[in-house]
Structures are given as C-alpha cells and as structure tokens.
Chain A
Amino acid sequence: MKARPRANTSKDSGKKTVVAPSAHHMPLLNASGIIKRFNDFTANDDVSFSIYEGEIHALLGENGAGKSTFVKLVYGLIQPDAGVFEWRGDPVTITGPQQARDMGIGMVFQHFSLFQALTVAENIQLALPGGEPLASLSDRVRRISGEYGIGVDPDARVHNLSVGQQQRVEIMRCLLQNPSLLIMDEPTSVLTPQEAEQLFEVLRRFSDSGMAILFISHKLDEIRALSSRATVLRRGINVGTVDTDTRSARQLAEMMVGETVGYVARETPPADGDILLEISNLSRPRPTQFGTPLRDISLKARRGEILGIAGIAGNGQDELMEALIGEWRGKSNGVISLEGIDISHAGPALRRNAGIGFIPEERNGHGAVPAMSLAYNNLLTSHSLAGAVKNGVINDDAMRHAAADVATAFDVRLPNENPLASALSGGNLQKFVVGREIAKSPSVLIVSQPTWGVDVGAAMFIRAAMLDLAGKGSAVVMISQDLEEVFMIAHRIAVLYDGHLSAAIDATDLTAEKVGLLMGGSAASEALET
C-alpha cells in the first residue's frame, strides 16, 4: 500500500548519534524500583532506568501504559509509593513542582496553560518567581530564542500564535530556569509533521548544549528519528530500555503492545457511489473568542467510502462536529443534505431519525453520560427511534436488551449486566459508543476521533467496524487528528485547517508529507505540487 503513513520525521538526516552512555558516567536522573498505585490499579510497577546529560530519551508506551504517571512523579506532582529517585547520584524526594524546578527539571505539558489575551513575555513573567521586569525578561527571551533558533517573539499576543509557536512559549518558560532535564509530554500530538521536525531541530540543539530531554510519545517513527535510547512501558511495567538504532519501528511497537501488531485491510471503495451526505458552503462564526470559525465548508460523502478529515486539533473540528450533529444550527449559512434532503434546520434527533449516526470526540459527558447505566446511554441516541418510548414512557426492557446486544456484538466487557458507563474503561466505553451507532445501521456515520485514548486492540476493532459499515453501503465521515489512522482506513482525505476544508483527494494519491503541508495551511495546489 503506497499510502502507508511515512511521517517525514523518519528522515535520518540530522539524527543525533549519541553512543549509549557508558556505565562509569554518573546518570543525571536514576529511577529505581518506582511503584505508583491508584487504589487497585498499579500505574507504575517497578520502573527503573537512567537518563544521562545530553541525552534525548524517549518514554514509549500505549495510552494508559503509565508514561504520564512516571513523568508526574519525576516532576513532583505525585509521590511514588515505593522506589527511589537519584539526582546526580544523591537520593531525592521530589515533594512538588517547585522543588523539581529548583533542582533543574522543567516540564512542558501536553495541554498548554497560557493566557490567550496576554503577550508571550507577560505569560512568562507570570510563571517565573521573582517578578523580573518585562523589559529585561523580553531581552532574555530574545537572546535565548536566537541562541537556539526557537523563534519566539516576546511581544506577540498568545492568541495570535499557532499551536507550535505556543508550545515554544511553554518551552521558553522552562528554559529561562536553566533546566538540566526537560520533560516533554507528547509534544508532537498537536503539531503538523513539519512543525514537529522544527521542534526536533530545537530539541537537538538543547541536547548538544548538554541538556537531557525525556520525551514521551507513542509515535515510533519520531522516536527513532529523535532519540538515542527509549524506555518502553507496558501496563506500568518497564519492558526494557533499548537503543533505538538497533530496533525497527515494528519491533518497538511489539515491545509496546506485547503482541504482534495487526493492520486493518482497507478495500478499494466502489467508484462513484451515490452521494449520501453533502455539505455545501457551510459557514459558522467563531463560537467563542478563541474558537475557530468555519469558512465555507463543502464536502460530499459517497456510499461505501470512508472520508477522512485530517487536521490538527483546534482547526475547527469541534465546531464542524457541532454543526454536523445539529447541536449548532445556522440560519442561512450553507446547506447540509442527506440523500438529497435538506436537513440543515433539523435537530440532532431528527437527523438521527433520518439515518445519521454520530460519535463525538469526547465520550465522557458528550457521547455518553458516565453517571447513567448503559441502557440509558443507549436511550440517549435512541429516544427518537421506534420502540424506545411509548406514550412518553421509556421501554426499559428494550433499552436494556439493545445495550446488551451492542455489548455482545462489539466485545464490550461489562462488570455486570447493566453497569454505569463510568464503570467501563475508556476503550470499552468507546466500543460501546461506536457500537451503539453502528448497530442502528446508519446510512451515514459521522465520527470524531474514534480511537482517541483507546488501546491498540480496541482501536483496531473500531476501525474494522467502520470499514465494515462502509463495506455494507454506508458513508463514513471520520474526523481524526491521528494521521496514521486516516491513512490506514480512509479512502479519500480532506484536511481541515483554520476552518477551511480542503478538497478531498484519493488517499492513494497522497503522502503524509502532502497532508502535513495542508495541515500546516499550505494551499492545496501548492501542497500537491511538492
């Protein structure tokens, strides 16, 4: 398959060649026997490894493998139940982030904490102790920015910055405290491949200057491109620390998952199926000050295909999803039609009756109600359909059976017959939410981030279920920020950038580089010529 994702991060150019540090070097940070439990759940089970000065060390694992727990322990946000950290050879108890920063540990979180309305320098000033005057702070920011080629303008207002630039503001905030260890939690999850490559350049310069970097990721290619060593966590257990040069991406994946990694087979879609869902010229003003407006979006989803909508978070995915579900309805801004019938002004229930299924990104509190039983969660998207409610009275038995059938068909593991949604693990609940919609055989399924926060096994199951639905003659519109996923199952791909949707292009004609350019805002023609 030609369209197998190949993030350009896999380029070997510029790769750091650090020999695995020899044993006589004293590690900067040494973790031994770290154990952290949350009630009955052991998030870190006897994790031990060392990080050396100037090293880029990757912490690799699936969602829920315990990566974030481990870095929170290092940063002092939570305390280990057992085990010892040694910092430059001395045992330390890291009681909180302030102590971690004083020791020389900086952390860039996955989700930024910046005040959108303030300037970069003002944001940095707020985070630093000591109340340094803005002028001298701005000078320092400019100097360090020049030194490492970070490109942060201290006078820019944060809401005018791209996500990648905002991330660099967060990095700058850490740098001003001269860290010897910089922790980055999934830094590329919000970046285009091009932005990620720029970030890697910066990180390599940090490492050249002697700074150690602990880098969390589950993306194998970028780990191989950037880091010299990787520690793999699986269900809280340290599977091993390896030189990334000696392992292929597939070997790393198998260490991470613990089983042979499977791929979903994508069939070619029937050419020119009927158009089931058509959106023309849909626009929407920005819903909040920092939301994204939708600009003149048009798309056609055909029978039998999966239409992938790629794009970085915050480029209008939420706004588009709300408009498609009907949670937001415009007066006269564009037309959404299902099999030729205008449904622009219909609410979510009517759209469901017409044969559309929706799976929103957030399952807790949007796609499902955690505090309610699965039967009632089934009712959530069934109440307007026949058999669910008679004379205003809920048909409890029917809902219970429907929920049980979904659980059986979609391999949802239940702790009891009709549990609360909150009693299910993330992957199980997602399988339920997906199964609930697919079980109704919708003619169009609109889904956002179908496998977000789901383990690899469940993700493969969900992708196979969507392919299966498309194979039976439905159209699937999948909004996903996971480029690998988009390439894996989408037949055609469009990219959402700053509220614009590019034209959909056959996946076989695309590469990750081209999609990456579109994700970064290049015009379609320009992207396709490169």
Chain B
Amino acid sequence: MISLVPRKDISLALTVMTPVIAITLTLVVGAIIFATLGYDPLQALYQFFVAPVSRPDQVANLFVKACPLIIIASGLVFCYRANVWNIGAEGQLILGAVFSGYVALTFSDLPGWAMMPLMVFAGALGGLLWAMIPALLKTRFNTNEILVSLMLTYVAALFIDWIVRGPWRDPMSFGFPLTKMYEDAALISRIEFPGIGYLGQLHWGVVGALMLALGAWVVLARMLVGFQVKVMGFAPRAGRFAGCSPAFVTVMVLGISGAAAGVAGMVEVSANIGQLQPDISFGYGFTAIIVAFLARLNPLAVIGAGLVVALAELGGDSAQIALGMPKVVTGVFKGILLFMLLAGETFNRFHVEIRLPRSAKAKQTGG
C-alpha cells in the first residue's frame, strides 16, 4: 500500500530547493519530449524560458500577462481557504468587464479622476453580483457552488457575445461584434518611467494588482475577517462556536472573489483592449485557479505563481511563433511544468510510505 504521510519537520532548505528541482525536472522531461518530436531541445527551452524575458520590456510584458491572474487568484484564495469552491471566476470577470463597459460607454464625458474609480467600482460590482447567484443558491438551497459557478461562466460568455452583437454594437463597426472604443479617460494608461519612457505594455493596473495581492495577504494573515475565513475552512463547527455564521462567510468569500475577478475584467479591457468584444479573456478565470493553488493559497505567493504561469503562457506563444511548434505541444509542456511544481510542493509536505502487502510482510517476519 502506498500512502502520503505528512512530514513532521519541513526543512527550509528543501522548501527553497523544491521549485528549483521541479523546474530542473521540467527542463529534462521537456527536453526529452522536444527531442523526440524532432525539435532542437535547447532551442525550444530557450524559446520557452529565456526569449520571453530577454529584454526589460519583455519582462514588463510578463507582468502585464500575469496581472489578471494575480488579481483573480488573490480573490480566489479567500474562497478556497474557506472551502468554498468558486470555479466561475471567468464568468465573474466577464460581468465585471460588462459593468465597467457600461460606465465607460454611457458616461463617456466623465473626467479621468471620476471615470477610473467608477469603472473599478462597477467592475467589482458586476463580478460580485454574478458570484452572488451561486452564493445565495448555496446558502438558501444548499446547491453545489462548483456546478452553479461553472455553469454561469457559459451564461456570462453568451451574454457578452449577445451584448456586443446586439444592443451595444458600435454602428460604425462594419458589422463586427464590437462596442465603441472607450474614451481616453476610460483607458488605463501605461507607466511612463522618467528618462526611459514606456516599458513594453506595463500599465498602472499591474501596480494595482500587486497592491491587491499585498492587501489580500494583510487581510488573511492579520485581520479578524481573514481568521474567520480560515476557521471556516479548517473547522466549520468551530467557526459557528466562535459565533461566525457559515452562510455569512460563504457569501463574503464568493463576494470577494467575484469582485476581484470583476476588477480583473475591467483592467483587462481598459488596459489592453479598449472596447468590449466577444472574447475578452484567455481563460484567465480558470488559469487563476492553478495560480491560487500553486501559491498554496498564500496571496503573496500568488504574485510569484502568477508570473511563473504567465511565463509558461508567453513561452508557449514564443515557441509557437519561432519554431512553429503546435499549440498542443506547448500545452503539454505547460502541463508538465505545473505538474512538477505541484508535485514538488506535495513531496515537500508529505513523504511517501510504501507498506508491503500483509502476505509479503507475514512471510518476512515468519521466515
């Protein structure tokens, strides 16, 4: 029988080395796969890991790519810590984009100082309200939030599709499913470094994302609200004993993660796209789930995990462009990377115990 037994003492050195070992193993396994498929392994690995970050502006773009992942995962951490399984961040992201898009398109005359906060608020509200559907169904009727939140993602995707083809379509778009471009006040500007100028697409939303992750960490680690979330996750009965309502926590964490996903949708559109269109996200809401777990549900680690996952995404793009590698191969490689990181994390916390079957053991002791 093989079982995972929690380690009693987790060594610091091993904790630091775990990602290094995991990435080394990824490189080895990846190289073998690339070689078998007829690609130069060194070239392929270069495209994956070095090419996307070989210039400062590319590093900046890595942060841009990680930005929505960090925002969403910072919110999801609350849900998963409380044992509430919000799988529908993608849909909440879309609703955030639609709500903030409504502000941008309807009140297009607003000055920037009023427009930005209002759009952030609208984005958060959109995601929050969408997350309230699984929250209320769960607390009222004990439905499964995994199913409801996941299914609502498809509803959200069809909703934005309809809205940009129908009521909100720009009459001047020549029939394309696009809204009007946002006014400048509704766009998140790029960061201008004195003496250097712009660095890639690096925008103020990235700064916001980092602050959000930091804020999430403070709330979770230092504040009573975060404590209640953790208690509910560890021992719901102890949470009730402490005087905290499970329904309240469920609604709260779904609200927080929905709002975060909504803000991510707003940032993604305002910083990178500039108008609403049928596809505004590349599965960020789903990828962020991996980011949250890669970070072991720690909001500060979410930043690093977001960057790693973003690198895998950009590396995949770069390998596709430079080497003509099929998308499925880059997908496999990304999968191996995440698998190795999560496996390394698991083996860091647990050790494997293999017990001989009873008959074999009996023979040993008997003989």
State the A residues within 8 Å of B (CB). 79, 93, 95, 325-327, 347-350, 352, 358, 360, 362, 365-372, 376, 379-381, 383-384, 389, 392-394, 396
Bound complex: CA A372 to CA B232 (Å): 12
A347 and B243 in contact, given A383-B224, A389-B224, A392-B224 (Cβ under 8 angstroms): yes
Bound complex: CA A348 to CA B230 (Å): 18
Please give me the residue from chain A that is nearest to B236 by CB atom. Answer: A365
Asked if B243 contacts A393 (CB within 8 A), the reply is no
B156 CB, nearest partner CB in chain A, Å: 32
Cross-chain contact of A393 among B223, B238, B242, B361 (Cβ < 8 A): B223
**New contact pairs (10) apart from A365-B234, A376-B227, A380-B241, CB-CB < 8 Å:** A93-B366, A347-B243, A348-B240, A349-B242, A369-B235, A383-B242, A389-B224, A393-B222, A393-B223, A394-B224
Please give me the residue from chain B that is nearest to A388 by CB atom. Answer: B224
State the B residues within 8 Å of A (CB). 222-225, 227, 230-231, 234-235, 237-238, 240-243, 245, 358-359, 361-362, 366
Q: List 12 A-B contacts (CB under 8 A).
A: A326-B243, A349-B242, A349-B243, A362-B237, A365-B237, A368-B238, A369-B234, A369-B238, A372-B234, A381-B242, A392-B223, A394-B222
B70 CB, nearest partner CB in chain A, Å: 24
Chain B, interface SS category: helix
Please give me the residue from chain B that is nearest to A82 by CB atom. Answer: B365
Asked if A371 contacts B234 (CB within 8 A), the reply is yes
Instruction: Note all chain B residues with C-beta closer than 8 A to A325.
Output: 241
The 3 A-B pairs of least Cβ separation, nearest first, read A349-B243, A348-B243, A365-B235
Asked if B238 contacts A366 (CB within 8 A), the reply is yes
Q: Which residue of A325, A327, A369 has the most chain B CB atoms within 10 A of its CB atom?
A: A369
Instruction: Note all chain B residues with C-beta closer than 8 A to A396.
Output: 222
Asked if B362 contacts A95 (CB within 8 A), the reply is yes
Please give me the residue from chain A that is nearest to B219 by CB atom. Answer: A392
A383 and B227 in contact, given A348-B240, A360-B241 (Cβ under 8 angstroms): yes
Instruction: Note all chain A residues with C-beta closer than 8 A to B234.
Output: 365, 369-372
Asked if A392 contacts B225 (CB within 8 A), the reply is yes
Please give me the residue from chain A that is nearest to B218 by CB atom. Answer: A393
Instruction: Note all chain A residues with C-beta closer than 8 A to B237.
Output: 362, 365-366
Cross-chain contact of B238 among A347, A352, A367, A383 (Cβ < 8 A): A367
Bound complex: CA A415 to CA B231 (Å): 23
B363 CB, nearest partner CB in chain A, Å: 10
Please give me the residue from chain B that is nearest to A327 by CB atom. Answer: B240
Instruction: Note all chain B residues with C-beta closer than 8 A to A93.
Output: 362, 366
A380 and B238 in contact, given A79-B358, A326-B243, A369-B231 (Cβ under 8 angstroms): yes
Asked if B223 contacts A380 (CB within 8 A), the reply is no
Bound complex: CA A342 to CA B356 (Å): 62
Asked if B235 contacts A327 (CB within 8 A), the reply is no
Instruction: Note all chain B residues with C-beta closer than 8 A to A362.
Output: 237
Cross-chain contact of A379 among B227, B358, B359, B362 (Cβ < 8 A): B227
